[in-house]
Amino acid sequence: MTTHRPADARALPLVVTMGDAAGIGPEIIGRAFERGALADAVVAGDAAVLRRAGAAMTALIDEPGDLAAVPPGCLPVLAVPGLPEGLAALPWGRVDARAGAAAARCIEQAVHWVRAGEAAAIVTAPVHKEALAAAGLPYPGHTEMLQALATQAGASPPPVRMMLANDELRVVLVTIHVSLRRALELLDFDAVLQTLAIAHEAGRGFGIAAPRIAVAGLNPHAGEGGLFGDEEIRFIAPAVQAARGRGIDAQGPFAPDTVFMRARRGEFDLVVAMTHDHGLIPVKYLGVEDGVNVTLGLPFVRTSPDHGTAFDIAGRGVADPSSLLAALKWARRLVAGRAPRA
């Protein structure tokens, strides 16, 4: 089937990737479909896996533009070439290289469609990092894989950052999926300044004319004037000043144990945190059911639920689709140049 593709990205469908076949991704996709949340979306995945997870009726299509031809009540599933055989027979909740390979292949195909102008954005269901590694993929997660897929041949990778957000907080990370020791090695003036620039542009893309960005310090009490560490003095505060010189409304560094409360109360639009857990614990504490992961710096919109594959409950029929629903909402709003209110 081939249909006319509208030029306006807002009229194009979203592509939802299946995630790990042994996790809860297929189930929350099926539940989102039951709630009518995928009316403007197609799923890149394996139809048998989605049926096993509870999607009663599926319709195989060849490209996103075929969505209009899908019969009512059928989940539109994009035929992704190169998927391993037997995915629907994999045990629930176990790491398997075939599931990792399939998840990666769906992501690759989704990127192809969105970069070809056939889809508006990508919403990714959870992948399992061990399954990706078992499949021989050199990426610790979605962010790094999407960065590689967005890189033109012979070009340097685009600088990307992870943002986790809900209705109360937006947090952008300087470092992500590395050990804490390695994160400390990666932190420097350039990394912080680049993150502030990316966060500023993201805020403007959300429709905030002059985003107010708070910078969380690395050390207790933001170093307390060098008593508890000097990273704030050596490069974090200088990066904040350099950002302000570029017209970015960056403030800090502030004590990381209180800055998130200040942002939640409306004092700031975004918070930049130095490490993964520094920034994500406050957001997830407020509830993973409403959290969304947004990859900033890509040449296309990508969102995701803020939880993992939940192998402990996979196949039990109890997975909550709320975070996926939030990710779909954010993707639509970002395509339109607006973000849900925080």
CATH superfamily to which 1-155+298-342 belongs? Isopropylmalate Dehydrogenase (3.40.718.10)
Mean pLDDT of the chain: 91
pLDDT at residue 339 tops 90: no
Question: What local confidence, expressed as pLDDT, does residue 342 receive?
Answer: 44
Helical (H) or strand (E) element with 42: strand 41-45
Q: What is the mean pLDDT of the segment spanning 191-210?
A: 93
Render pLDDT for 277-313 as a digit per residue (tens, 0 to 9).
999 999 988 877 788 999 999 999 999 998 899 999 9
Question: What local confidence, expressed as pLDDT, does residue 340 receive?
Answer: 53
The answer as to CATH 3.30.499.10 being correct for domain 169-285 is no
What 8-state DSSP symbol labels residue 46? -
Question: What local confidence, expressed as pLDDT, does residue 13 receive?
Answer: 95
CA-CA-CA-CA dihedral for 284, 278, 132, 192, to nearest 10: 130
User: What is each CA distance from 282 to 51, 260, 264, 269, in whole angstroms?
Assistant: 36, 7, 10, 15
Find residue 16's DSSP bridge partners: 43, 123
Give one DSSP letter per residue of 318-341, joined into a string.
----HHHHHHHHHHHHHHTT----
Ordered by start, the domain boundaries in the chain are 1-155+298-342, 169-285
**Same CATH topology for 1-155+298-342 and 169-285?**
yes
